[in-house]
Amino acid sequence: MLKNSNNKNDENNLDLDAISTLFNRDGFVLIENFLPTTMIDELLIETKNLVEQFDPQQTLNNDNEEVTIFSAGQKQSTNEYFLGSGDKIRYFLEQDAWDEKNNSLRVPKINSLNKIGHALHWLNPVFKRFTFQQRFQNIVRSIGFEDPLVVQSMVIFKNPRIGTEVPDHQDATFLYSTPDPRVMGVWLPLQDATETNGCLQFIPGSHRTHPLQKRWIRHLDPIDGRVYMEYVHRDWYSIPGNNHHIDSDEKELLNKSKFISVPASKGSCLLIDGLVVHRSDPNLSDKARPAYTFHIFDQGFVHDKYDDDERKILEHQSTTTSKPKPKPKRQWNPFNWIQPTDQYSFPRLYRNGHDDDNDYDGVSSDFK
Ligand SMILES: O=C(O)CCC(=O)C(=O)O
């Protein structure tokens, strides 16, 4: 864990080298006092506005099926409401919030949601302004992301007594880039996240020791033309030099009691490697644990050791006329559930006023 010096929320005080070192060592890093709590309050107010606009009845009626309930299981895997939410702001209920018999909410609306997603960072001006501020660019750059794109964003509610567990997972199961999963989550508690209300838990270093053996893959049904998702178990990726298959018993052993809780106070920021194993408990307390999170992938060049060596040799031989061959760029995997569309491409995190987003010029430096 890193404490921003003097509790000043001053981005200039950040020890970017230490952030990068801890992130590479553990697969996550908590930066305390990263943002002024007043900035988080703006997100809380906007979240409340969004919840007020939510009409569960209307959403259900429009789609004529039980579409809004969030579950990592079957229901979600074929439904358009979820799979079509990549370029929208949509609401997902907690499993126990909806009373099917009476076709109504079982709990007050304010406590009923599991999450809102997945394009808050683009479609909501408050979240957009927040996401593209300079301080996120600085820390992501310090970790070595060359050209990150924001692929999704969510408010995760973890509401009191109803907020469900998030089982252990690696984000790369859901968000994969090719040829390697260079994906990061940025996670910000909107209230203090503690061991009692379901803070995140990690297996430190598991991004190096746990190969990626499960991906959530998009298929098109040739018969009815519908998109559906399924988990496919394979040796998808392991970091070079650590390519042994882990069978499920071994995995169980690796996971058991290896998790550490990472309480995070309002104003702090957690960076999460796409391969690190993490989870969170259900919220059995009477305190909410809302969080805003967005995920990025680095479409920068794919480097390997050979490239680096070759570059160094060519630089050294300054008389040579040959140039290093162009490196391939990393691609968003077409089998991921979330995809850009004809109308919407994933926005770049490092925007500079010269790229395609004229409506948003200058925001990254203004918003501090
Ligand atoms: O907010 C939570 O409880 C879980 C978040 C998480 O696992 C993620 O964003 O990958």
Q: Does residue 78 carry a pLDDT above 80?
A: no
Bridge partners (DSSP) of residue 30 are: 270
| Close Cβ partners of 33 (under 8 Å, ≥ 6 residues apart) | 3, 4, 7, 8, 9, 267, 268
Which of 89-93, 125-129, 221-225, 333-337 shows the lowest mean pLDDT across its residues?
221-225
- Read off the pLDDT band of 358 (50, 70, 90): very low
For residues 99 and 105, the answer to whether their CB atoms sit within 8 Å is: yes
In ligand 1, the atom with minimum distance to the C-alpha of 278 is 7
Q: Which residues line ligand 1 (CB under 6 A)?
A: 156, 158, 166, 171, 185, 187, 200, 278, 280, 291, 293
Q: pLDDT tens for residues 108-127?
A: 999 999 999 999 999 999 99
Give 142 Cα–ligand 1 centroid separation in angstroms: 23
Q: pLDDT tens for residues 265-319?
A: 999 999 999 999 999 999 999 999 999 999 999 999 887 766 666 666 766 666 5
Bridge partners (DSSP) of residue 189 are: 291
Residue minimizing CA distance to atom 1 of ligand 1: 156
Report domain extents, the chain: 2-6+27-357
The CA-to-CA distance between both ends of the chain, in Å, stands at 23
Give 165 Cα–ligand 1 centroid separation in angstroms: 10
Q: Which residue has 């997100």 as its token pair?
A: 43
In ligand 1, the atom with minimum distance to the C-alpha of 187 is 9
Predicted confidence at residue 73, as pLDDT, reads: 43
Give 207 Cα–ligand 1 centroid separation in angstroms: 16
How many helices (H) and strands (E) are present in the chain, helices listed first? 12, 18
My answer on whether omega of the bond before 179 falls inside 30° of 0, hence cis, is yes
Percent of the chain past pLDDT 70, that is, above it, reads: 76
**Choice between 225 and 131, residue whose per-residue pLDDT is larger:** 131
Whole-prediction pTM: 0.87
The answer to whether domain 2-6+27-357 has CATH 2.60.120.620 is: yes
Give 279 Cα–ligand 1 centroid separation in angstroms: 7
DSSP 8-state symbol, 85: -
| Close Cβ partners of 179 (under 8 Å, ≥ 6 residues apart) | 302, 328, 330
To test the pocket of ligand 1, the residue of 92, 164, 187, 337 to mutate (highest count of ligand atoms within 8 Å of its CB) is 187
Q: Which residue has 């997603």 as its token pair?
A: 117
Predicted confidence at residue 26, as pLDDT, reads: 97
Reading the block at residue 108, the tokens are 């007050």
Q: How far apart are CA 155 and CA 111, in angstroms?
A: 13
In ligand 1, the atom with minimum distance to the C-alpha of 169 is 7
Q: What is the dihedral of CA 223, 226, 230, 235, to 10 degrees?
A: 80
